[in-house]
A and B are shown apart, each in its own frame.
Chain A
């Protein structure tokens, strides 16, 4: 206890430098969290694209400022025969279908993406609990809805559909909750209305999706359904409205080869091949990512320089004090450690403070888990050791009497 008090006293003697170090360590930790988070997000979308087979797909139909939404939808549907006849084209289909269920009893709106086994077999979204739907009217909701529903709940709902002319039709039915989707993982959002879509524009997370549209307190949850049917078991005919179409090409066909023919059919600016969107994503994202790495690296260099300066100055300026402790009854190694050892708890504290700041200030950006906190901590302590230990061993080699011997 007495030695801990002494360490604290020594630590406080150098409070300014130590304070700066604490701030730098926290900054590095925050930036490393951002870097890891960005990398996870970046990789996640590339994996999603790979699993989905985006390399062999072409997206058509994003709107230009001059487009009429009804006209472009018709045009996309009309082009079906023309497109499917192109050499190398295997499939031409709307990118997604949606339907909204209203749980009147609880007052919840449940927009549902209609998927089939092929879709979620490709996407491999992670589930927080339960399983993916595999029968009509089975649904998996966003994990946020766990506060409202449980697995196995059968809910009386009304499905609502609107046609091209905004005429609403409704169907009474029952849906069963079979799973909850991890709302932090990347999912497809194939409704781009941007001129040059990349993976960023084609993907989102359920959490971001919900935040953009309506938070849970407005009683809106999102999910996936395998095929909506009425209460009597009749399949509900889904109406596709306004979204893009996806062209799947054969494995031996390069999407770039048929792009010119598709531009002839749909016009420029509406045809985007998978490789092109992936490349665009990589280019745009790499710049941001590299920028982040640069910041993290600069902060790390600043931290390590400050640490090196602090250790160097401690060992230079505090020689007499170290020798006094040695004379008064501690070993030389321990005496040196009083001056160097506190940097470990300091860096640990800085790293944990940085992690706390990151988790507190950027919850919507969190893509790291508690293990990342440990990895960042171990990384900083390792780098700290690279700075501290050589100085420590170098100082140990000089006997304390060298500093007080007069003759």
Chain B
């Protein structure tokens, strides 16, 4: 299998104030094969989210090289990065990242707004996705009226809307009870079997049972567990 993600010597620091530098990633390298499912463990502040943000084109590294699906990400401007996020990447966040006063359909359709697909096509796919994720009845319900598990399914549906090659999940089970967690993991397993490349940053070791590789994040570096 070919590598869909290749990163070499990525560095990223934050500056809470001018004189204070907090390194988040320190010369990190990683290769991810297409269709692979990777779990990244690490304590809070270890740099998991930072890594996911860079992998997802939400943020840029200070230095290092990042190649996604054969494209050098460092050479892209903001609009081109936005296009990559829209077409190739789906995000699932711990706190769902949904617009509370909108319906599931309104939320799931968002990636279509920024894509070349028509809204008609988008609504059709939205319906199919909600069916597939077992929440067809939530299509017209406002997010603010849903449970945590329902919200996370809607968030997954949105992440899958533009049929991305890569799914990035940042603590996807952080706000869920154990039963719901298992259901969400089962969904990730199903998506992996469909050929999606999935990278999950988590504290929860239960994900190891379904991941192809498990990596440990510590002090801005990754190591195989």
Q: Please list the residues of chain A having a beta carbon within 8 angstroms of any beta carbon in chain B.
A: 2-3, 5-6, 9, 13, 320-321, 323-334, 399-401, 404-407
Residues of A within 8 Å of B171, CB to CB, are: 406
Given A404-B93, A406-B170, A407-B48, A327–B99 Cβ distance below 8 Å? no
Is A407 a contact of B49 with CB atoms below 8 Å?
Answer: yes
Residues of A within 8 Å of B97, CB to CB, are: 320, 323-324, 327, 404
Is B78 a contact of A332 with CB atoms below 8 Å?
Answer: yes
Q: Does B172 contact A (CB under 8 A)?
A: no
Is A405 a contact of B50 with CB atoms below 8 Å?
Answer: yes
Q: Does B72 contact A (CB under 8 A)?
A: no
7 shortest interchain CB distances as A-B pairs: A329-B86, A329-B114, A407-B44, A331-B78, A328-B111, A407-B45, A2-B113
Q: Is the interface of A mostly helix, strand, loop or mixed?
A: helix
Report A281 CB to chain B, min CB distance, Å.
Answer: 58
Given A320-B97, A404-B97, A407-B45, A325–B110 Cβ distance below 8 Å? yes
How far apart are the CA atoms of A401 and B99 in the complex, in Å?
17
Q: Does B83 contact A (CB under 8 A)?
A: yes
Q: Does B66 contact A (CB under 8 A)?
A: no
How far apart are the CA atoms of A325 and B58 in the complex, in Å?
11
Is B99 a contact of A324 with CB atoms below 8 Å?
Answer: yes
Is A329 a contact of B85 with CB atoms below 8 Å?
Answer: yes
Is A13 a contact of B101 with CB atoms below 8 Å?
Answer: yes
Given A329-B86, A404-B97, A324–B110 Cβ distance below 8 Å? yes
Is B86 a contact of A328 with CB atoms below 8 Å?
Answer: yes
Is B44 a contact of A401 with CB atoms below 8 Å?
Answer: no
Q: Please list the residues of chain B having a beta carbon within 8 angstroms of any beta carbon in chain A.
A: 44-50, 53, 56, 58-59, 78-79, 81-83, 85-87, 91, 93-94, 97-99, 101, 106-107, 110-115, 119, 158, 162, 170-171
Given A328-B158, A329-B86, A399–B110 Cβ distance below 8 Å? no
Given A406-B44, A407-B49, A321–B114 Cβ distance below 8 Å? no
Identify which of B53, B101, B114, B162 contacts A330 (C-beta below 8 A).
B114
Is A406 a contact of B58 with CB atoms below 8 Å?
Answer: no
How far apart are the CA atoms of A320 and B98 in the complex, in Å?
8
Report B6 CB to chain A, min CB distance, Å.
Answer: 22
How far apart are the CA atoms of A400 and B53 in the complex, in Å?
10
Residues of A within 8 Å of B85, CB to CB, are: 327-329
Is B86 a contact of A331 with CB atoms below 8 Å?
Answer: no
Identify which of B49, B50, B115 contacts A329 (C-beta below 8 A).
B115
CB nearest neighbor in B for A405:
B49
How far apart are the CA atoms of A3 and B50 in the complex, in Å?
29
Is A405 a contact of B48 with CB atoms below 8 Å?
Answer: no
Report B174 CB to chain A, min CB distance, Å.
Answer: 8
CB nearest neighbor in B for A399:
B59
How far apart are the CA atoms of A327 and B113 in the complex, in Å?
12
Report B166 CB to chain A, min CB distance, Å.
Answer: 13
Report A216 CB to chain B, min CB distance, Å.
Answer: 56
Residues of B within 8 Å of A407, CB to CB, are: 44-50
Report B99 CB to chain A, min CB distance, Å.
Answer: 5
Given A331-B78, A400-B58, A6–B44 Cβ distance below 8 Å? no
Is B99 a contact of A3 with CB atoms below 8 Å?
Answer: no
Report A6 CB to chain B, min CB distance, Å.
Answer: 5
Is A3 a contact of B113 with CB atoms below 8 Å?
Answer: yes
Residues of A within 8 Å of B115, CB to CB, are: 329
Residues of A within 8 Å of B45, CB to CB, are: 407
Identify the interface centre among B44, B45, B56, B97: most chain A CB within 10 Å of its CB. Answer: B97
CB nearest neighbor in B for A335:
B82
Report B5 CB to chain A, min CB distance, Å.
Answer: 18
Report B157 CB to chain A, min CB distance, Å.
Answer: 12
**With A6-B113, A325-B114 given, can you name 18 additional A-B contacts, CB distance below 8 Å?**
A2-B114, A325-B110, A328-B85, A328-B86, A328-B110, A328-B114, A329-B82, A329-B87, A329-B114, A329-B115, A330-B82, A331-B82, A332-B78, A401-B49, A401-B53, A407-B45, A407-B46, A407-B48
